[in-house]
Amino acid sequence: MVTAGDAATLAAKEATNTVPVVMVTVADPVAIGLVASLGRPGGNVTGLTDQHADLVAKRLEILKSLVPSVSHVAVLLNPANPAHALQLKGLEAVAPTVSVTVFAREVADPASIDRAFSALKRERVGGLIVLGDRMFGANRKRIVELARLNRLPTVYTHRSWVEIGGLVSYGANFNDLYRRVATYVDKILKGAKPSDLPVEQPTRLELLINLKTAKSAGLIVPPSLLARADEVIQG
């Protein structure tokens, strides 16, 4: 069985402890109890992590470099996603080192997205980090549009957000992760046990910047950040 995301993989693990499960785009499989460790999964689940939990601090650093004056940053999270509380704690731990206060804005369903952005406007936050979530991804056009309309500097997890107008993304190359899933499936079909196949981390991390979006938000992207970008979208 191949599963994508935290919720689907947790459901598969709960449903069976005998059928091999190959996961992909899971933020922190150890922390949410999917595997005993990355090196020795120890059960019927293995696969690939997208390392979102380890990259949230980097996304905050990128936001701070884009908007040096930012002091209050909202984090868009789904309370049903078991990895989001852990990622929020990670952000809260590093926020004081860059003189930022972070707070959660929960979005439990698509109908709550507009209300969340209305609240962010009232609270006059200086930036936003959108955590990785399949419900968010399915509604990314609306989220990107609202961030643009509110001129809210926002950092996303994956290039697909920037390709439709999001400001900046930093994270794993999902196409690469999904290609590598086939390797796990092949090994298991040939007799390998999931417990013996280490969970792999991304080998390709991408930084994308949309200059058109930056200009519309009145932002000047620092040359140092542009130099680090894997891809710059002009419009």
> Where are the chain's structural domains?
2-51+173-204, 52-171+206-233
- Give the three-class secondary structure for 72: strand
CATH class of the domain comprising 52-171+206-233: alpha beta
Say what the pLDDT of residue 53 is: 74
Domain 2-51+173-204: give its CATH code: 3.40.50.2300
Q: Contact, 110 vs 139, CB < 8 A?
A: yes
Instruction: Identify each DSSP E strand in 178-221 by its residue range.
Output: 205-210
Say what the pLDDT of residue 116 is: 96
Say what the pLDDT of residue 142 is: 98
The pair of three-digit structure tokens given for residue 114, joined into one six-digit string: 């507009």
52-171+206-233 and 2-51+173-204 share a CATH fold: yes
* Own/partner long-range contacts of 180-183 (Cβ < 8 Å, ≥24 apart): 180/48, 181/2, 181/22, 181/24, 181/47, 181/48
**Residue 215 host element (H or E):** helix 211-216
The pair of three-digit structure tokens given for residue 81, joined into one six-digit string: 């996603």
**pLDDT tens sequence for the chain (235 residues):** 999 988 899 999 999 999 999 999 998 899 899 999 999 999 999 999 998 778 999 999 999 999 999 999 999 999 999 889 989 999 999 999 999 999 999 999 999 999 999 999 999 899 999 999 999 999 999 999 999 999 999 999 999 999 999 999 999 999 999 999 999 999 999 999 999 999 999 988 999 999 999 999 999 999 999 999 999 998 6
